[in-house]
């Protein structure tokens, strides 16, 4: 490690780096240098070029123009320079254990008994980042909750793996973590940077950015539009720099009158017509499972009625939402096919009209809806899943943490859309890991250990009450 | 092709046995009497429906992997064919045999039937709601289910469709070759899968290619005929056919990875 007194050579230096995908300028001439001790907060809208920048830095993509150098280590590849990435799309192998997943990116582990050092290393890394994590190094990844998987992935990113991590890139690391775990991560990032490491931290949660970042970089349309020390921004200034007129959460909602009860599950979930019902609690306490059970129970694997009674918005896009081979158009229309079909054949004009309408309404960033779904950035893919659900006429919409990886501006648009749809009489069930979102609901069920531990309505929905209900037993 | 489009693990190995059984039963029902061709077709379709239902019942109710369920079931179908056939070789009705071996405008009638069915399937896959559902289920079964696709109904219909088509093929083949034979489906076990894969349908599911199946069938036919005309023995022919299939599948999959 470089001695702190000297002006340290940057770990990574980009000069005029650009990346084009056909006509799309995903990255349009970015110059940037990251020195030891830096914690760079990277913000911007969906499709602003954040993920492309990350991939250029970590060597996943080679720039179309400009250069990427690693002066501190003199290495030629990102891997040798100690650049690590933790992605928002989880990239563990679900059929392997936690320790075996470490081995995939740790080629120095060899010999007959490589599992033992692998176990020790991943355990040490987990203990360091997330003290008291409770994850077994021998558990297979598919037995872990999504939050635990994210924790493992982060721990692998920080693990020494034969060399040492100099620059760790975290892409939306906290979007599936609950507040307590996220706090552990943030304090680890601070420790790591203080010891001379560097971090690129991408998040849509501005509070976290302000908490850890020493420098903030704002991207828009593939360019860096602002770069300042963290103190140089205010929250409002940051949102303005991203190019969205901030509409902070409309706090006071008029108390609305709701219709009759449309839903009542044996577990105690209840919802009335036109109501927005939130599911909260710590991540992985059975909320997602409860929603999936509810949805699978209410719909059939054998029949698809013309007017669906319930639709589902997936949060785990890769597993539950996307149909990866298809275009945006077909991904949008899949749930409404029976509605727009004539004698079993799809009415393609109506399908195109529906897709065009939703592209406009929800702002899917694409030139043409017949482009493949995977050409979109993560947040825009999520918008497609919203469009899929909202385009149907189903009276009940089930949402399983749907805002993962969606930027602030879009979130506000979607909140407004949800409220408007609820006012028209639709019922929403909304699981979210972000307390701020849950506080916008009319009624909140807090989950603990797969059971409902509290039901809050109206004025009683506050962050304190929700936290209280999520932790109660664990504190005792 | 349809079953393979359903995604990894979905395959119907009962096709040869279904062909044999439908050919045998249909010819037995017709008993060489004139004017019974449609009745025979009806019997064949019923056999197809029956085997399809049995396959899917094994897969759905007993939760067997399709490869085992259909292979085990095919032993039963083959035995049924042996039991009902008892070595008899019943000739098809004259009119039907004439149709099956005849040509219209220089094109074999059997090929025309195949073409008609292909166009029907192509229309279903490209335009119909069911086709969309099938393609969606093949890409990601869980996502399709959560998007409101009735996935089990789609799977059932697909397994049924495949055996019905196999049964019709068995019926035509038996009429073409002047009677059902117990081994008449044997060659189609590997071939039916090979032409689908060579034709560009994804083994990973969710994408299918109807014209590709035609291209691949013609290609395989060309290869086999060429080897025959060079006088290669049966052993050499099969070895070469196997090698060609392996080679093409490797070539096709590496191309896809590079892209």
Each residue's pLDDT tens digit, A188-221 = 888 888 888 888 888 877 788 888 888 888 887 7
**Nearest beta carbon to residue B152 from set A302, A319, A338:** A302
Q: Do A338 and B146 touch (CB under 8 A)?
A: no
Architecture in CATH for domain A12-242: 3-Layer(aba) Sandwich (3.40)
Asked if A122 and A102 touch (Cβ cutoff 8 Å), the reply is: yes
Sign of CA dihedral B6, B11, B17, B19: positive
What CA–CA distance (Å, rounded) separates A152 from A358? 37
Q: Do B146 and A295 touch (CB under 8 A)?
A: yes
Is the whole model's pTM more than 0.80, yes or no? Answer: no
Strands A261-264 and A270-272: antiparallel
pLDDT: which is higher, A3 or A429: A429
**Cα–Cα nearest to B143, from A143, A292, A112, A432:** A292
- Tokens of residue A164, six digits: 């040492």
Domain-by-domain residue ranges, chain B? 2-186
CB-CB contact of A18 with A63 (8 Å) = yes
Nearest 10 degrees: Cα torsion A55, A58, A64, A70: 150
- pLDDT band of A243, cuts 50, 70, 90: low
Whole-angstrom distance, CA of residue A126 vs CA of residue B152: 41
* pLDDT tens-digit readout, B225-249: 888 888 777 788 778 878 877 887 7
pLDDT at A101 over 70: yes
Residues of B with Cβ-Cβ distance to A321 under 8 angstroms: 143, 146-147
Q: What is the DSSP letter of A275?
A: -
DSSP letter for A66, please.
E
Polymer length in residues for chain B: 259
**pLDDT per position as a tens digit, A272-322:** 888 888 888 776 677 788 888 888 877 777 777 667 778 888 877 877 888
The domain locations on chain A are 12-242, 261-475
> Counting beta carbons within 10 angstroms of the beta carbon of residue A159, is it exposed (0 to 12), middle (13 to 18) or buried (19 or more)?
buried
Give A355's pLDDT tier (boundaries 50, 70, 90). Answer: confident
User: What region does B208 belong to: left with phi over 0, alpha with psi -120 to 50, or beta?
Assistant: beta
- Secondary structure of residue A291 in the 3-state scheme: helix
Question: What pLDDT is recorded for position A472?
Answer: 53
Instruction: Collect all residues with Cβ–Cβ distance below 8 Å to A466 and sequence separation of at least 6.
Output: A280, A281, A435, A438, A439, A444, A446, A454, A456
pLDDT digits (tens, 9 = 90+) for B106-160: 788 888 888 888 899 888 888 888 888 888 888 888 888 888 888 888 888 888 9
Q: What is the model's pLDDT at position A325?
A: 82
Q: Which of A423, A439, A447 is nearest to A265 (CA)?
A: A447
The total of other beta-carbon atoms located within 10 Å of residue B242's CB is 12
**Is a pLDDT exceeding 70 seen at residue A253?**
no
* Contact assessment for residue B58 and residue B69, using Cβ atoms and an 8 Å cutoff: yes
- Report in angstroms the alpha-carbon separations of A381 from A44, A369, B139: 16, 12, 16
Question: Roughly what angle, to the nearest 10 degrees, separates helices A146-158 and A115-129?
Answer: 100
Using an 8 Å CB-CB cutoff, list chain B residues near A292.
146
Note whether A308 contacts B148, CB cutoff 8 Å. Answer: yes
* Chain A interface residues (partner B, CB cutoff 8 A): 292, 295-296, 299-304, 308, 311-312, 314, 319-326, 330, 334-335, 337-338, 341, 344-346, 348, 388, 392
Q: Which residues of A touch B140 (CB under 8 A)?
A: 319, 322-324
Which parts of A299-424 fold into alpha helices (H)? 328-333, 348-362, 378-391, 408-423
CB-based contacts of A259, cutoff 8 Å, min separation 6: A272, A273, A274, A425
B151-176 vs B109-127: helix axis angle to the nearest 10? 170
Assigned CATH for A261-475: 3.40.50.300
CB-based contact B151 A301, cutoff 8 Å: yes
pLDDT at B42 over 70: yes
């Amino acid at each position: 490690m470089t001695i702190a007194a000297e002006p340290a050579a940057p770990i990574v230096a980009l000069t005029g780096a650009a990346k084009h995908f056909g006509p799309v300028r995903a990255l349009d001439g970015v110059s940037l240098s990251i020195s030891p001790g830096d914690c760079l907060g990277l913000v911007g809208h969906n499709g602003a070029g954040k993920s492309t920048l990350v991939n250029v830095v970590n060597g996943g993509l080679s720039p179309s123009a400009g250069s990427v150098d690693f002066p501190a280590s003199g290495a030629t590849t990102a891997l040798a320079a100690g650049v690590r990435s933790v992605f928002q799309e989880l990239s563990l192998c679900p059929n392997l254990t936690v320790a075996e997943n470490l081995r995939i990116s740790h080629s120095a582990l060899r010999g007959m008994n490589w599992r033992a050092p692998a176990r020790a290393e991943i355990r040490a890394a987990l203990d360091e980042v997330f003290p008291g994590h409770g994850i077994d190094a021998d558990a297979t990844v598919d037995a872990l909750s999504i939050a635990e998987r994210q924790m493992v992935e982060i721990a692998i990113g920080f693990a020494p793996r034969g060399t040492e991590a100099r620059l760790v890139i975290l892409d939306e690391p906290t979007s599936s973590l609950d507040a307590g775990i996220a706090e552990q991560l943030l304090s680890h990032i601070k420790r790591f940077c203080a010891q001379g490491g560097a971090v690129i931290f991408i998040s849509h949660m501005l509070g976290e950015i302000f908490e850890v970042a020493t420098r903030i970089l704002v991207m828009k349309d593939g360019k860096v539009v602002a770069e300042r020390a963290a103190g140089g921004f205010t929250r409002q200034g940051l949102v303005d720099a991203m190019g969205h007129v901030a509409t902070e959460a409309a706090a006071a909602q008029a108390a609305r009158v709701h219709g009759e009860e449309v839903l009542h599950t044996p577990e105690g979930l209840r919802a009335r017509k036109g109501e927005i019902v939130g599911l909260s609690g710590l991540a992985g306490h059975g909320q997602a499972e409860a929603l999936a059970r509810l949805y699978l129970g209410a719909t059939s694997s054998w029949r698809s009625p013309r007017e669906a009674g319930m639709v589902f918005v997936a949060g785990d896009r890769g597993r539950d939402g996307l149909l990866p081979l298809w275009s945006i158009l077909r991904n949008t229309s899949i749930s409404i096919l029976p509605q727009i079909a004539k004698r079993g054949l799809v009415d393609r004009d109506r399908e195109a009209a529906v897709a065009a309408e939703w592209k406009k309404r929800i702002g899917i960033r694409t030139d043409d809806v017949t482009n493949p779904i995977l050409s979109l950035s993560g947040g825009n893919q999520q918008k497609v899943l919203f469009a899929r659900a909202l385009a149907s006429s189903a009276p009940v919409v089930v949402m399983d943490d749907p805002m993962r990886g969606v930027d602030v501006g879009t979130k506000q648009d979607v909140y407004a859309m949800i409220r408007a749809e609820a006012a028209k009489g639709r019922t929403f069930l909304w699981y979210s890991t972000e307390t701020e979102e849950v506080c916008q609901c009319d009624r909140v069920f807090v989950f603990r250990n797969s059971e409902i531990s509290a039901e809050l309505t109206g004025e009683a929905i506050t962050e304190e009450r929700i936290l209280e209900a999520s932790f109660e037993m664990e504190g005792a | 092709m349809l079953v393979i489009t359903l995604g990894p693990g979905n395959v119907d190995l009962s096709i040869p046995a279904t062909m044999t059984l439908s050919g045998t039963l249909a010819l037995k029902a017709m008993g060489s009497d004139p004017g019974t061709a449609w009745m025979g077709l009806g019997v064949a379709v019923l056999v197809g429906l029956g085997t399809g239902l049995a396959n899917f019942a094994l897969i759905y109710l007993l939760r067997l992997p399709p490869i085992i369920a259909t292979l085990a079931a095919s032993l039963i179908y083959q035995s049924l064919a042996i039991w009902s056939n008892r070595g008899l070789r019943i000739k098809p009705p004259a009119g039907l045999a004439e149709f099956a071996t005849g040509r219209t405008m220089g094109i074999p009638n059997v090929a025309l039937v195949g073409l008609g069915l292909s166009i029907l399937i192509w229309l279903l896959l490209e335009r119909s709601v069911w086709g969309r559902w099938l393609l969606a289920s093949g890409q990601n079964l869980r996502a399709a289910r959560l998007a409101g696709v009735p996935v089990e109904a789609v799977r059932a219909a697909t397994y049924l469709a495949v055996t019905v088509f196999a049964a019709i093929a068995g019926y035509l083949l038996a009429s073409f070759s002047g009677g059902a034979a117990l081994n008449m489906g044997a060659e189609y076990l590997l071939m039916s899968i090979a032409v689908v894969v060579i034709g560009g349908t994804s083994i990973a599911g969710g994408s299918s290619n109807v014209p590709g199946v035609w291209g691949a069938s013609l290609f395989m036919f060309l290869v086999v005929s060429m080897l025959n005309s060079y006088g290669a023995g049966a052993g050499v022919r099969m070895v070469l056919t196997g090698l060609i299939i392996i080679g093409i599948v490797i070539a096709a999959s590496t191309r896809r990875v590079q892209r």
